[in-house]
Amino acid sequence: MTPSRRGFLAGAGLVALAGCLGNSTSELSGSRSLPTAEEQLPLPTSPENLRDAARSGGPPKDGIPSIDEPAFLDASEAGFLADGDPVFGVVRDGVAKAYPQKILAKHEIVNDSLAGTPVTVTYCPLTGTVQGFERGNTTFGVSGRLINSNLVMYDRHTDTWWPQMLATSIPGPWNGDPEIQSLREFRLVWTSWKQWRDQNPETEVLSTETGHAKNYSRDPYGSYNPPGGYYANETLLFGGLNPSDRFDPKRVVMGLRTPDGAAAFAKNALREAGQLEGAVGGTPILAVFDGRYDTAYGYLNPDERSFDRDGNRLVDAAGTSHEPDALPLSRVHTFDAMWFAWAGYYPETNVYQ
């Protein structure tokens, strides 16, 4: 009995010690230089109410470790990826990069740079959202808290909370009075490894050599290839802010928001229709499907210009043909999200299908 008791006490001591050590973070010194958006994005409620809606997801701060020194491989070296595996792709100044979902499911944040610009690539498995942000001289980490089931990031200079989908600072326990501002976003395309590689054969791929001892073949939530587990069922683990039964909770919508409001297009409806019209804050918008990547782009379309589809391209009234991601309109940041998460953050959203 005595040895067992000693062993248990020693174990409890280790856990207590670990609890102390676990709160140490890699905070950055000096003043923060973070590029922010010219206009603040809409919030569903006050920043204080959002702070109060935060809940622990289980892990402590940085318990889910961000990748801070990412390494990349050539496409031919990425044997760990199957054709149908999801990747999040971006091209900047002719350099294409793919971030595999199976790696980001374990880290949620990659602090990287694109064409010399410091950026952070973020992914929340629970809401199915991928967002890219400029990060200036800071890095972002995983706070361990969730709002609307969505990742809450923090910046390592000021400890300010930044809910991923809202892309806007809110007060939190580590910084109670931050300036409320929105991050500069950039688009990452959620597509399959095959589709990305076919379009970008010279692409680099995030390596599994992340500096962390993880098993990247195991996604505890489920699977996208084939669909299964949390990603495919209707069960929420942490719930949403504003429940809506308009669609199945995990149905994927392509969402966009401007300072004037939000709109969501059902992705499968876009896939079938090719393009859908809508409005956000009274301004007409146009969403077009891109079969190359199985994704879609949203545009402000104040003059309500129309386009004819010619295969995957769109032809304007003058007969000029355009790729779906390059229409002569003002493109709005658009990204995939599970319906419950979009409706939770943007309950007044317009919906098109």
Partner 1 sequence: MSTSDIRRRDRLQRALGRTRSATRLVFRRRDSLLVLATVTSLYLLLYLWAIGHLSPGLGGFDLLVVSDPLSKLLQPELGPFSFTPVARVAVGPVTYLFSLNTVLGLGIAGLVGLNAALTYLVWRQPSACGIGRSSTGLLAGIPALLSGTACCGPVILLVLGVQASGVLLTGFQLLLPVAVMMLLGSLLLVGRQVTVQG
Interaction site with partner 1 (CB under 8 A): 1-2, 4-5, 7-8, 11-12, 14-15, 17-19, 21-22, 55-60, 63-65, 80, 105-106, 108, 125-126, 146, 208-209, 211-218, 220-222, 229-230, 233, 235-239
- Least CB distance to partner 1 at residue 233 (A): 6
- Residue 71 or 326 having the CB closest to partner 1: 71
DSSP-derived secondary structure for 149-199: TEEEEEETTT--EEETTTTB-B--SS-SS----BBPEE--EEEEHHHHHHH
Tokens of 272: 């079938």
Give CA–CA dist 291/270, Å, rounded: 10
Q: Of 142, 144, 124, which is closest to residue 60 (Cα–Cα)?
A: 144
- Least CB distance to partner 1 at residue 255 (A): 21
- Residue 62 or 290 having the CB closest to partner 1: 62
- Residue 186 or 238 having the CB closest to partner 1: 238
- Least CB distance to partner 1 at residue 207 (A): 12
- Least CB distance to partner 1 at residue 306 (A): 44
Residue 254 sits at the vertex; the CA angle it makes with 272 and 110, to the nearest 5 degrees, is 130
Residue 230 sits at the vertex; the CA angle it makes with 229 and 232, to the nearest 5 degrees, is 70
- Least CB distance to partner 1 at residue 136 (A): 26
- Least CB distance to partner 1 at residue 131 (A): 17
Give CA–CA dist 120/139, Å, rounded: 7
Asked whether the beta carbons of 240 and 128 are under 8 A apart, the reply is no
- Residue 106 or 267 having the CB closest to partner 1: 106
CA neighbours within 13 Å on the CB side: how many for 317?
Answer: 4
**Residue 36 CA to its chain's centroid (Å):** 17
- Residue 142 or 263 having the CB closest to partner 1: 142
Q: Of 186, 341, 190, which is closest to residue 264 (Cα–Cα)?
A: 341
What DSSP character marks residue 77? G
- Residue 233 or 268 having the CB closest to partner 1: 233
- Least CB distance to partner 1 at residue 120 (A): 17
For residue 29, count other CB atoms closer than 10 A to its CB. 6
- Residue 151 or 253 having the CB closest to partner 1: 151
- Residue 111 or 334 having the CB closest to partner 1: 111
- Least CB distance to partner 1 at residue 19 (A): 7
Asked whether the beta carbons of 262 and 280 are under 8 A apart, the reply is yes
